[in-house]
Amino acid sequence: MIRLLTSRNQINQINMKTIFRFAVLLFIFIFPAAISAQTKSPKLENSLLWEVSGKGLKKPSYLYGTIHMICSKDYFLSEKTKKAFDVSDKLYLEINFTDPNEMSQMQQLAMGKEPLSKKLSPEQLAKLDSILKKSTGMGVQQVDSFSLLTVLSLISMKSFGCAHLKFYEMEFSEAAKKRNVSIYGLETVKSQFEILENAYSNDEILKLLEESTSEESEQLVTAYKNENIDSMYALTTDEKFTSEKTKKQILDNRNVNWVKAMPELMKQNSVFFAVGAGHLGGELGVINLLRKEGYTVKPIMN
Annotated domain spans of the chain: 33-98+162-201+213-299
Q: How far apart are CA 193 and CA 83, in angstroms?
A: 33
- All residues at 6 or more sequence positions from 277 whose CB lies less than 8 Å from its CB, including other chains: 48, 65, 66, 67, 224, 229, 232, 233
Contact (Cβ atoms closer than 8 angstroms) between residue 126 and residue 118: no
Q: Over its length of 302 residues, how does the chain's per-residue pLDDT go in tens digits?
A: 233 233 334 334 344 444 544 544 444 344 433 333 344 567 899 999 999 999 999 999 999 999 888 899 999 999 999 999 999 999 999 999 899 998 888 878 778 789 999 999 999 999 999 988 888 888 898 889 888 878 877 777 777 778 788 889 999 999 999 999 999 999 998 888 888 878 888 888 888 777 766 777 788 899 999 999 998 887 777 665 556 777 788 889 999 999 999 999 999 899 999 999 989 998 999 999 999 999 999 999 98
C-alpha dist (Å) from residue 155 to 25, 36, 60, 300, 301: 14, 25, 39, 34, 35
Contact (Cβ atoms closer than 8 angstroms) between residue 65 and residue 281: no
The neighbour count for residue 56, using CB atoms within 10 Å, is 10
